[in-house]
Amino acid sequence: MRAVSTDQFSHAFTVAAPAERIYAHLSVPESYVGLSPLLVAVRDVRREGGAVSYVAVERFRLGPLRWDNPIRVTMTFPEPGRRIVSDVRSPGRVRLTATVELLPEGDGTRVTESVTVTFPRLLRRFVTGQARSVQLARARELTRRMAAVPA
């Protein structure tokens, strides 16, 4: 029996920008540097068919110590212009799938990010806490970035 757990959560928010601009931004791996607060680098970007694969580097800090965690990400675009799915594989048997859906709403866009994360049970509190914290920070930063760029 494998000692793994799965959690799911979702966050919806409105961004004052058209869905096309948000989609274009989120479709580029390099846009995630700083969008996700732990992400400090993107490398080895490969575009194959309808997918984009890359290695993202997360940086964790604990006082003067730091740890760089390379994670493998594959983005797919099941509904171009409307939905992006990111499949993330991290060391330590952690796997995360994030689905971003964009729905035009007035002059802006309703963004919904749904996350499913699977992890060893012993890491539950850490993994779920980090994933939820990053999700909320990413929403704030995306909202800020889209407001900072004229339409």
Three-state SS annotation for the chain: CCCEEEEEEEEEEEECCCHHHHHHHHCCHHHHECCECCEEEEEEEEEECCEEEEEEEEEEEECCEEEEEEEEEEEEEEECCCEEEEEEEECCCEEEEEEEEEEEECCEEEEEEEEEEEEEHHHHHHHHHHHHHHHHHHHHHHHHHHHHCCC
Where do the domains of the chain lie?
4-148
- Please give the pLDDT value at position 2: 64
- Please give the pLDDT value at position 1: 47
What would the pLDDT profile of 34-80 be if each residue is shown by its tens digit?
A: 998 889 999 999 999 889 999 999 998 888 988 899 999 999 999 98
Q: Thinking of the domain 4-148, which architecture would CATH place it in?
A: 2-Layer Sandwich (3.30)
* Paired sense of beta strands 65-79 and 83-90, if any: antiparallel
- Please give the pLDDT value at position 62: 82
* Mean model confidence pLDDT for the chain: 92
Q: For 17-46, what is the mean pLDDT?
A: 94
Question: pLDDT-derived band of residue 139, with 50, 70 and 90 as boundaries?
Answer: very high
